[in-house]
Every structure is written in C-alpha cells, then in structure tokens.
C-alpha cells in the first residue's frame, strides 16, 4: 500500500473516524488501496472518468485527501486539461490544498499504486460499496444515540430519523415532483434609474399588469436606442454589444398591447423625427443622382453619334459621367423598428440602416416567419448573427448585402402558448436561437385587478417620452460605437458573478446544467444590461464614464431574475429534452410496477424516438435519481474477470403504487 499523506484532514464532509470510549472502537469499512487505485487511474487514463463517475462520487472516499484529489481531477478535466501529477500539483498549490494531500510526491506515488487503469470501474465499485456501508453505520449510530439520550426531544428524534433516511439505502424519502417550480421573482424595477423606474411602475399600476411586462420591455427600448452605437469592453478581446432579445409571456386579457404601446411610443416618435430630418437630404440626393444619370445618358448618346477622334473623347467623357453617377448614393429613409417582417426583409433593412434594427411586436408571429411561414424553409441566420454582432454577408441574384457588425434587438410580448410552440421546433433550440432570448414569465393579475387604478402622472410620462426620444436621436448618427469600460469594482463584481455561475453550468448537478446553451450566455447578457443601465443613468455623458460597481450589481440582480424565469420557461417550452424524457420514463416505471429493473430491460420498454441509444437513458435516469424516484445500484461481481455487472435501478415504492 502506498504510504498515506502526512496531512489528511481536508474534505467536504468528514467521514467517520476511529472512536474510543464507546462501542465503536473499530475502524469503519474502507479500502485505501482501492481509493488510491481510483484516483491514480483518473490521472493515468482520462477516458475512464465518465465510467468512474457513473459508479461513485468523490465523497465516497474515506480518506479526505483522496476526495480532494478526485475533485481537482474532475475540475481540470471539465476545463479541458489533462490531470497528470504535474498539472494537478500546480492546481492544488494554487487553491491551497497541495500540503493537505501530502505534496507533489504523493501524487506521483498514486500513479504507481494503479495495477491497471482498465479496472478503474471495479476499484470504484469497491469504494462506493464501502461508503454506503459507512453511511448506514453512521445513520444507525445517529438514530441509536438519539434514542438513548435522556434529553432527546421529539424534534431531535424526527431529525435523526430524517437524516438516517437520507443515508440508509433501504429507506426512501418523499420524491420531488418533476414539475415542481418555485414562485418566480418579480422584475426588480428598483434597479432602473429613477426616471425609468417611475414610468415602469406607473404603467404597471395604470394597466394593472405585472411590472415585469413594462420592465423587460424597457430594456428592449433602451437596446433599440443604443444597439450598434455602444459596446461594453470586458476582458481582453471580450466585448459585448448592447442589443438584446427580450420576450415576455402573458395569457390573453393581460393588456399586453396597451403596455407595449406605452413603452414603444417614444421610439416611433423618434423614428418620425429622423425621417423628417432626412427628407430634405434624401430629396436632394435623388435629384442629384437623377441629373447625373441623365447627363451620363446624354453624353453616351452624343458619343454614339460622333466619329473618329471626337467619338473617342466623347466616349471617355460618357464613361466618366456614368461612373460618377453610379457612385452617388441616395440615403434611405431611417428606420428603427420592424414588426411583421421576413428574415430576408430584416436583412435588407439592417443593411440599409448600417446594421441596426429593432423588431418590436406585441405578438409572436415573428417566430412563425422565422420557421418558414412564407418560404417553407426556416431562416434564422440574420437573427443569430444579429444578436452576436457577427459579420453577415448575403449574396442574392439582384444584390449583395454585407453587414460588418449587425446589431439586432427584439422586444416581444407573447402568449405562453407561443413559447410552447417554438419549443417544439428543434431547429430553434439546436441552432441556438432560443438561447439568445431573455425570458420573463410573470404571474397574471387577471381576477385581482383594481377597478379604478391610478393613471400615469403626466410629468412621469412626459419625462419618459422626452428622455427616450432624446437618447435615441443623440445616438442615431453614430457610425463608430462608443466603448464603455468597467471600473475595477464593476470588473470585480462581474468576475465574482462569472465564478458563481460557472459551476451551475455543469451537466451533472449544476442548477443551470440542463439549459447550458442559454445559461452560458448569461454573464455576457448581464454585461449588456449593465451598459444599458449605465447609459440610462448618465444620459448626457455616459459614453465618457466607466460603468460603476453599483450599476454592475444592479445588472447582476436583473440577470438573476432572468435566470430564474428561464428555468421555468424552458420547462414550459419543452426545450429541455432531458426533463421531457424524464416524464416519459417515469410513466413507463409507473405502468410496469417494477421493484427493480435492469438497464437493458428498462431500455427495451422505451420509445426509440425518445431514447435512440442506452446513452440517452443515462442522463434521464440521473435526473429521476436526483428527484428521488429511483436509485442506481451496481450488483457485486460474481467473479474477478469479465466486465462489471450492468447497473440496476431500484424504484421508489410510490411509483409502483396503483393510480386511482
């Protein structure tokens, strides 16, 4: 056996140790050789990490040092790095755990402790089995001690029994419903600047709608004004534009159109002013271009009639005039907003408007159009690249459209049924369109509304309209976007937020792991929101100031709000395939009434359209296990050779009960 490290007092949960002075004087069940072989195999053969992870958890190790090494190995693997003794030692030193596991020398001796990495799963089974035995002993001990104590209260006994139920393999706790959803938070309007917060709250009061509707649309309105004009500089080459995709879902009868009209009215007013201001220059350019083409045509006609040297001179003059006429550009009429537009029309409008446009609608028809209502073929390229700001080129028969830095904003107020429908379109999810939206699913107030609510104060409405119009007009003519930088406090706040979100993206056990496509964009979306809040707070000179820590904190609160809503919305859309399949699997378990079932027999009962391979079953079974509906158990080996036995699933008694 490889010598144990000198320091072994570090673990997430301290395992049972030798106990003296009572009935438990023996060392709890453990096999240090097997533990060393497991962590050594993980370093030697990264390809066994997934197989070992299916059998045991790092907390199954008896020695805290082995748990620490195991978790560090998984961390490096998740970062795409190989966890050999050198890289692992460097990582452990950085996080301050190297001395606790016995130093670099112990990492090298672990490699020597592996008889063969091919048997890593077998070693992991040994470790896991012994861990279960220790937990059973610990649970029983806790219950016995509670029962023997003369001062124990009924609450103490209940707590001991509950803790024991979590540890004892034969005791089942109440399963957590798959459709269990916490109450969603209300949009944090207090994060908005005063002039905007007052209007949002007043509109919500007047229309008797949840503040989420006006609040989320307010962000889309700000993004319409600033999108393409302002970007946020984060770290290195990481920059975020300030355009957003926002969708709010409320059932019919919630006065979405009234709120939508109130929030977007200043944008329409600004667009009319821009059109009026540009009318004179457009007319002048049209007349100039017409005269230039007429002069070129006249020169060409004269050249055609001439002969000899005169013809050559007139021809050269006609060519020069034609080239000059073609070089003249007639400005297009300014556009800020689009609604019922095809992807092709959106592309053309963005090209004409310098890459900037906002699709704002109180309906969800745009999703049908993207899906191919008119063309029969889905076309979402302009929406994908318009959100990210990626270069877009479209070559058509009649013209070529080239957009260097597209900035598309979308602000939609739809019915929840629309979200369910778009969730059924796997192309939307697969291509990442759904991952680009910030979702709000507020609770309807229908049935609880006031009959005579307070109207929006005139000065509040006037200030909102004046401010949005002025902000939009002031940024409309910018060609090169302003760059907003972060103060050290804002940068630190965003870094801490990034570190908090990252572990939640893990596919196994991460709170946001089943919506990773969306959640992986959350930090960037939060930075965009910070830029918009900054501009709204500093209307006159925001582009000359850095974003403060307070503004970033406000944006993070808004980001957390959208994260909570996204979890529920993706469930509603059915875009979370794992959750949808979990419901199907649970129905199969209920229909068959098994006490336990092998993976092979269970797979044989499942639909191949939902579960094409056994690999598709594993994440779904893991989700049901997290909710307490089943347990995965690997039967012990009957011999030392051959592949380990396939896991079986133990089914919760409630699942087996006949339904009324």
- Reported as a pLDDT band with limits 50, 70 and 90, residue 79 is confident
What pLDDT does residue 15 have? 42
**pLDDT for residue 484 is more than 90:** yes
The mean-pLDDT minimum among 47-56, 155-164, 330-339, 494-503 falls in 155-164
- Give CA angle at 102 (97, 108), nearest 5°: 105
328-343 average pLDDT score: 87
- Reported as a pLDDT band with limits 50, 70 and 90, residue 623 is confident
The answer to whether the beta carbons of residues 171 and 164 sit under 8 Å apart is: yes
Which helix (H) or strand (E) segment holds residue 313: the answer is helix 308-327
Give the span between the Cα atoms of 344 and 571, in whole angstroms. Answer: 31
Which residues are paired to 630 by β-bridges?
651
Which residues are paired to 337 by β-bridges?
358
Phi, psi of 537, deg, nearest 5: -80, -35
Mean pLDDT, rounded, of the chain: 84
| Closest CA relative to residue 318, chosen from 348, 292, 346, 283 | 292
Task: Reduce the DSSP state of residue 411 to 3 states and report it.
Answer: strand
The mean-pLDDT minimum among 339-353, 611-625, 629-643 falls in 629-643
585-603 average pLDDT score: 89
pLDDT one-digit tens code per residue, 433-471: 889 999 999 999 999 999 999 999 999 999 999 999 999
* Residue 582, CA distances (Å) to 286, 578, 605, 612, 629 in order: 63, 6, 14, 14, 10
What pLDDT does residue 396 have? 60
What pLDDT does residue 106 have? 86
| Closest CA relative to residue 411, chosen from 584, 570, 223 | 223
Strand order in 596-598's β-sheet? 596-598, 648-651, 630-633
* DSSP state letter for 392: E
What pLDDT does residue 19 have? 41
Task: Reduce the DSSP state of residue 232 to 3 states and report it.
Answer: strand
What pLDDT does residue 182 have? 61
**pLDDT for residue 523 is more than 50:** yes
- Reported as a pLDDT band with limits 50, 70 and 90, residue 330 is confident
What pLDDT does residue 14 have? 39
Give the span between the Cα atoms of 560 and 185, in whole angstroms. Answer: 9
- Reported as a pLDDT band with limits 50, 70 and 90, residue 18 is very low
Q: How many helices (H) and strands (E) does the chain have?
A: 25, 13
Q: 267: which residues sit within 8 A by CB, 6+ positions away? A: 221, 224, 225, 336, 337, 358, 360, 468, 472
pLDDT one-digit tens code per residue, 563-574: 999 988 887 776
What pLDDT does residue 391 have? 83
Give the span between the Cα atoms of 401 and 395, in whole angstroms. Answer: 6
Provide the 10 A C-beta neighbour count for residue 618: 15
Give the span between the Cα atoms of 630 and 585, in whole angstroms. Answer: 11
Phi, psi of 435, deg, nearest 5: -75, -10
What pLDDT does residue 460 have? 97
Residue found by looking up tokens 């609040």 in the block: 215
**pLDDT for residue 657 is more than 70:** yes
- Reported as a pLDDT band with limits 50, 70 and 90, residue 8 is very low
| Closest CA relative to residue 26, chosen from 144, 145, 141 | 141
In this predicted model, which residue has the larger pLDDT, 295 or 642? 295
The answer to whether the beta carbons of residues 408 and 350 sit under 8 Å apart is: yes
What pLDDT does residue 80 have? 72
* Structure tokens that stand for 39 in this block: 């962590």
**pLDDT for residue 374 is more than 70:** no
* Structure tokens that stand for 31 in this block: 């096999």
The mean-pLDDT minimum among 228-232, 295-299, 448-452 falls in 295-299
Beta-strand pair 407-414/356-361:
parallel
- Reported as a pLDDT band with limits 50, 70 and 90, residue 241 is very high
Helix segments in 448-548, DSSP class H: 458-476, 488-501, 516-519, 522-537
- Reported as a pLDDT band with limits 50, 70 and 90, residue 550 is very high
pLDDT one-digit tens code per residue, 268-293: 999 999 999 999 998 998 899 899 89
Residue 8: burial class (beta carbons within 10 Å; 0-12, 13-18, 19+)? middle
* DSSP state letter for 511: T
- Reported as a pLDDT band with limits 50, 70 and 90, residue 98 is confident
Residue 374: burial class (beta carbons within 10 Å; 0-12, 13-18, 19+)? exposed
Provide the residue count of the chain. 660
* DSSP state letter for 394: E
- Give CA angle at 307 (301, 309), nearest 5°: 110
Give the span between the Cα atoms of 565 and 636, in whole angstroms. Answer: 44
| Closest CA relative to residue 597, chosen from 552, 633, 554 | 633
Strand order in 245-249's β-sheet? 337-338, 356-361, 407-414, 245-249, 437-440
* Structure tokens that stand for 384 in this block: 């994908």
């Amino acid at each position: 056996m490889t010598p144990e490290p000198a320091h072994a007092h570090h673990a997430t949960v301290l395992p049972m140790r030798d106990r003296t002075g009572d009935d438990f004087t023996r060392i709890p069940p453990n096999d240090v050789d097997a533990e060393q072989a497991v962590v050594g195999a993980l370093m030697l053969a990264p390809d066994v990490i997934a197989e070992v992870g299916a059998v045991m958890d790092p907390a199954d190790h008896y020695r805290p040092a082995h748990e620490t090494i195991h978790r560090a190995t998984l961390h490096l693997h998740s970062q795409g790095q190989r966890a050999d003794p050198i890289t692992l030692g460097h990582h452990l030193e950085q996080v301050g755990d190297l001395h606790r596991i016995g130093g670099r020398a112990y990492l090298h001796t672990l490699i020597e402790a592996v008889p063969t990495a091919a048997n890593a799963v077998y070693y992991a089974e040994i470790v896991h089995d012994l861990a279960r035995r220790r937990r059973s002993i610990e649970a029983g001990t806790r219950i016995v001690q509670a029962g023997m104590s003369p001062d124990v209260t009924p609450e103490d006994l209940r707590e001991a029994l509950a803790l024991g139920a979590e540890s004892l393999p034969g005791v089942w706790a109440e399963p957590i419903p798959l459709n269990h959803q916490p109450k969603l938070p209300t949009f944090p309007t207090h994060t908005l600047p005063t002039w905007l917060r007052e209007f949002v709250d007043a509109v919500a009061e007047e229309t008797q709608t949840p503040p989420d509707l006006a609040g989320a649309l307010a962000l889309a309105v700000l993004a319409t004004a600033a999108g393409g004009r302002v970007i946020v500089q984060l770290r290195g080459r990481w920059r975020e534009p300030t355009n957003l995709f926002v969708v709010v879902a409320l059932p019919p009868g919630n006065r979405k159109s009234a709120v939508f009209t109130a929030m977007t009215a200043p944008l329409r007013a600004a667009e009319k002013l821009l059109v009026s201001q540009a009318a004179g220059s457009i007319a002048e350019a049209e007349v100039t271009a017409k005269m230039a083409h007429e002069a070129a045509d006249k020169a060409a006609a004269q050249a055609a009639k001439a002969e000899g040297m005169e013809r050559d001179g007139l021809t050269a003059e006609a060519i020069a005039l034609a080239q000059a006429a073609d070089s003249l550009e007639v400005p297009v009429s300014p556009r800020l907003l689009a609604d019922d537009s095809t992807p092709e029309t959106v592309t053309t409008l963005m090209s004409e408007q310098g890459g900037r446009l906002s699709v704002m609608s109180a309906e969800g028809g745009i999703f049908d159009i993207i899906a191919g209502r008119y063309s029969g073929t889905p076309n979402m390229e302009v929406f994908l690249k318009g959100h990210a700001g990626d270069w877009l080129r479209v070559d058509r028969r009649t013209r070529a459209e080239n957009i260097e830095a597209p900035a598309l904003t979308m602000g939609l107020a739809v019915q929840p049924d629309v979200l369910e429908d778009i969730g059924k379109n796997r192309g939307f999810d697969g291509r990442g369109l759904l991952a680009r939206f910030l979702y709000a699913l507020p609770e309807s107030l229908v049935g609880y509304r006031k009959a005579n609510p307070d109207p929006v104060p005139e000065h509040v409405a006037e200030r909102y309209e004046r401010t949005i119009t002025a902000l939009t007009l002031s940024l409309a003519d910018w060609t090169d976007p302003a760059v907003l930088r972060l103060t050290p406090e804002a940068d630190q706040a965003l870094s801490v937020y990034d570190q908090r979100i990252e572990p939640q993206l893990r596919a196994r056990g991460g709170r946001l792991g089943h919506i990773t496509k969306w959640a992986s964009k959350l930090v960037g979306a939060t930075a965009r929101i910070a830029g918009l809040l900054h501009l709204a707070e500093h209307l006159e000179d925001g582009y000359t100031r850095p974003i403060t820590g307070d503004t970033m904190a406000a944006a993070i609160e808004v980001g957390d709000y959208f994260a909570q809503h996204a979890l529920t919305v993706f469930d509603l859309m059915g875009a979370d395939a794992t959750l949808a399949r979990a419901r199907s699997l649970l129905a199969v378990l209920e229909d068959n009434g098994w006490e336990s079932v092998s993976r092979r027999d269970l797979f044989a009962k499942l639909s191949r359209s939902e579960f094409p391979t056994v690999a598709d079953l594993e994440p779904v079974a893991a989700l049901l296990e997290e909710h307490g509906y089943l347990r995965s158990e690997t039967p012990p080996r009957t011999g030392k050779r051959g592949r380990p036995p396939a896991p079986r699933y133990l089914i919760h008694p409630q699942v087996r009960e006949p339904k009324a």
